[in-house]
Chains A and B, each alone.
Chain A
Amino acid sequence: MVRTPPSSISSPAPAPAPAPATASRSLAPLVLRPPPRWHRAAELVIRALALSAIAAIVLILFFVAKESLPLFTDSEVRKEVTPSQMWLAQQWPGYDEPDHIWQPVSDVPKYGLWALLVGTLKVTLVSLLFSVPLGVGAALYVSQYAPPRVREVVKPAIELLAGIPSVVLGFFALMVMATFVQDAFGLESRLNAVVSGLALSIAVIPVVFTISEEAFGAVPRSYVEASTALGAARWQTTLRVIVPAASPGIAAAVALGLGRAIGETMIVLMASGNAAILSASLTDSVRTLSATIAAELAEVVFGGAHYTVLFFLGSLLFLTTFVINLLGDWAIHSMKVKLGVAA
């Protein structure tokens, strides 16, 4: 039995009283009223609320940038640190050579950015290294090889995976994965770029999978049929026709996965070791931009140099993910155009 949704304008008693047969002739003339005045007001409210998304993004941009401005304008802050000091190696007292060091909480506060950037890069690289092949591979399997029943299990499973809060993934990395990796490879630091990168890839896989799967699914059947008719084996068609046709979508998937990885905070906060070490080794502890903000913001003096720098890091993060997401969205859009789905 089909259940009907409750009608929002029906009177509370929907069951009509049986009217006498003669009533149909003696009805008063029908006078319909125009819609009540408040409808127009409600429409204005809807239009106003629709601006909220624009307002939100503008406010975020404005307030995060505003709190990072003192880095460029405030003399007190600039006594402690300037943007150029963050990018270039500085000669610190007690060190032989100029070095990039991030050590804001110390007698001589140091704000060398590179350690953080490299840390972010390492973790992101590791996560993409794992999540892209796995995500794209699984998407290929689900769209080309999996029988329908398997598909019905895999897709909800990946949705469940996507639903795991990042703090839980960080917890799992910290408690279980770190020990496992350390025992398996005999590493010095338990928490490092590899562990946090692996955990991060778990969060990124659903993003890569979903978009890639959509991309594979959107490849027109006619391409596949043409290839098969020319005598290509299934694997040849897949690799030479389907994957290239879906490549803008895959690029978008990678871009959005990258954006997700760079912006992720809790996993790296819990599993990366939080040591701002500038090194090429993946097995050293690292500090990422996002984790730095999360770890240090609680202790800063409002309006001080450290506070300002952290907001500056936030602006950097925002801009980076903004650009990456823009590229990813553009790639998705051009994929849709190429396949004739959108104008």
Chain B
Amino acid sequence: MEVPILKQGDVLIATFQAALSDADLNQLRRGLVQQVVKHRSRGVIVDVTAMDVMDSFASRTLREIAHMIRLRGAETVIVGIQPEVAFAMVQLGLTLEDVSTALDLEEGLSYLIQRFKNVD
């Protein structure tokens, strides 16, 4: 299952659908970084609103994606983690530390735009 990646100016938006397999996640990791390179994006938003469960593999992959994108000089924001998912994640110790998070797409965009201003 392909994850749709949309471009909004300097920002790429990847929207997760409900259940992603490990293969999907690996494909996304490759695809997303390629897109950042191709479009010279400054920010990436990964929208996980539709995910109702986050396991350790998904969590690790998201962190790896953020790290890889940072190496390209861009910033990643994970948005849309549901309350129940957040609760389950912290209980399992999957804290996604050192990755930025925001409530939803609007907040994520607003955060990135602010960050771009600070850098400019």
Asked if A and B bind, the verdict is: no
